[in-house]
Amino acid sequence: DKLEQQHSLFTHYRDPCRLGPGEEKPWAIGTLLDTNGLYDEDVCTPDNLQ
């Protein structure tokens, strides 16, 4: 989980439940990062997401 949460996506997207890699805020019930496709060319940069 920590490795995926260090992806450059998280320098552009702010997860309100996240404190840092592998850490959630105390009030967060839980979040799921689906890593399938995280490194696909179509979604690996902010420009490609547009």
Mean pLDDT of 35-49: 80
User: Is the distance from CB of 25 to CB of 8 less than 8 angstroms?
Assistant: no
Euclidean distance between CA atoms 7 and 11, whole angstroms: 8
> Is residue 20 classed as helix, strand or coil in its secondary structure?
strand
Mean pLDDT of 17-31: 80
For position 1, what pLDDT does the model report?
Answer: 62
pLDDT at 45 over 70: yes
DSSP conformation class of 26: T
| % the chain with pLDDT above 90 | 0
Tell me the pTM.
0.38
> Is residue 19 classed as helix, strand or coil in its secondary structure?
strand
For position 31, what pLDDT does the model report?
Answer: 60
